[in-house]
Copies of this chain bind each other. A is one copy, B any other.
Amino acid sequence: MKNNKISHEKDFIYGRNAVIEALLNAPDRINKILISKNITNDAKINEITQLAKNNSVVFQFVPKERFDSFCDVANQGVIAYVSPVSYTDLYDFLNTKQQDYARVIVLDGVVDPHNLGAIIRTAACAGYNAVIIPSRRSAQVNATVEKTSAGAINYIPVIQVNSLSNAIDKLKDNDYWIIAADAHGKDNYFDIDFTDMNFALVMGGEETGVSKNTLKKSDFVVKIPMLRNFNSLNVSNAACAIIYESLRQNICKSRKNK
């Protein structure tokens, strides 16, 4: 596959789970791991050093003070210098045969890196095949996203596209159904049958929602019911409700077919 390099803010990842996931799934990305000296006898740190040894990754204990000067984020005493994650090309993705029906999530203007990271994490857990983001007016993959994804970024391809509109056309040409989430949607999301089709689930940005152009191109526009007269869910939670409903339907259907 052709890959476009991500321009990271800083090429490091931090946090114990994020570093463990990188060691398990993409050890070649890691140049060096730094561990704060004051952490002793911690199960996850032991797992990190063991995995590092197994994968011939260099690690080093450094004094807490020196360690803190490297990086001012909540790093849980572990940071790893890494090569940037690579974005996947949409054309390459569509030309790679998937095992089953393909399910992707398209983010139309999600700007908060914590939301992007959480959605990548949920999509990975639910076995989705890719996350698609536009190259402008969107959070991009950076250290915060890697941390919030808890390393899921190494499990699922992230596809960056210059035009979301063109990307949706390409998905439609490749037999994907387009399902957009919008507060004014016609059906509740759980009234859609997510089985037996390739689909792209489109979630809108925190403030803006799914763009009008994208809504027009969608085959289904679904809403999430709200029981109180209250505005809406956080976008990563909204995405999770729909993503896991699609998984529930697939699991229940595959049971029936047995």
Residue on B with the closest CB to A154? B230
Q: Which listed residue, B125, B152, B234, B248, touches A118 by the CB 8 Å rule? A: B234
Residue on B with the closest CB to A150? B231
Q: Is the CB of B233 within 8 A of A240?
A: yes
* A124: chain B residues within 8 A (beta carbon): 228, 230
Interface flag for A89 (CB, 8 Å): no
Interface flag for A232 (CB, 8 Å): yes
Q: How far is the CB of A81 from chain B (nearest CB, A)?
A: 22
Interface flag for A59 (CB, 8 Å): no
Interface flag for A224 (CB, 8 Å): yes
Residue on B with the closest CB to A233? B125
Interface size range on A against B: 35 or more
* A17: chain B residues within 8 A (beta carbon): 231
Q: Is the CB of A127 within 8 A of B231?
A: no
Supposing A188-B251, A245-B248 touch, asked if A127 and B228 sit within 8 A by C-beta, the answer is yes
Q: When chains A and B are docked, how far (Å) is the Cα of A245 from the Cα of B127?
A: 19
Q: Is the CB of A125 within 8 A of B227?
A: yes
Fill in one digit per residue for A142-160: 1 if any B CB lies within 8 Å of its CB, else 0. 0000001011100110000
Residue on B with the closest CB to A76? B207
Supposing A236-B234, A237-B118 touch, asked if A125 and B244 sit within 8 A by C-beta, the answer is no
* A67: chain B residues within 8 A (beta carbon): none
Q: When chains A and B are docked, how far (Å) is the Cα of A83 from the Cα of B120?
A: 38
* A228: chain B residues within 8 A (beta carbon): 124-125, 127, 155-156
Residue on B with the closest CB to A236? B237
Interface flag for A126 (CB, 8 Å): yes
Interface flag for A190 (CB, 8 Å): yes
Interface flag for A37 (CB, 8 Å): no
Q: How far is the CB of A14 from chain B (nearest CB, A)?
A: 15
Q: Which 7 A-B pairs have the closest CB atoms?
A: A127-B227, A241-B244, A237-B240, A190-B248, A240-B240, A125-B226, A118-B234
